[in-house]
Amino acid sequence: MLVKLKKLKSLIESIRRILPSFTLGIKIRGHIVNDYTMLVKILEEYSISYIHVDAMLPGHKRANIEIIRKLVELTNIPIIGNNSVRTINDVHKMLRAGARAVSIARPLIQNPKFIQRLVRDYSGRITDESNYSTI
């Protein structure tokens, strides 16, 4: 649907008609999109509250930060950056590109305590020392 934007528009329109005042967000795979300007126009038209973007860079184990930068330039809809956030530096890169938040999937599936490392690196302290040694 990210390449067939008319179809996406019609789907969002139907959902919006059913849920006129609900907070609606969208998750997209950034690299699939051809026309970011049109995508953003549709999302704004239907008052989408956030864009959660998997900024995967195919063939690499890092995100394509340019995708986040481009979306931030095009819209005021808050952007949640995603893909390959593994260190606090990765978090900062996405936030510097204008993301309002980041999301993390695989490391947390493998080990939920992964989040403690990020929190420690962010705040400069370990929040739960008894569990931290097992990470």
CA dist., res. 60 & res. 49, Å (int)? 29
Q: Looking only at residues 111 through 130 of this chain, which bind ligand FMN when binding is defined by CB under 6 A?
A: none
d(CA 103, CA 84): 9
**Nearest-approach distance from CB 131 to ligand FMN, in angstroms:** 21
Q: How far apart are CA 53 and CA 5, in angstroms?
A: 16
Could you list the beta-strand ranges (E) of the chain.
25-29, 50-54, 79-82, 101-103
Give the nearer residue to ligand FMN in terms of CB position, either 50 or 129.
50
Q: Does 1 bind ligand FMN (CB under 6 A)?
A: no
Q: Please identify, among the stretches 13-21, 33-41, 81-89, 90-98, the one whose residues bind ligand FMN according to the rule CB under 6 A.
A: 81-89
105 near ligand FMN, judged by CB under 6 A: yes
Please report, as ranges, the residues that interact with ligand FMN according to CB under 6 A: 27, 54, 82-85, 104-106, 109
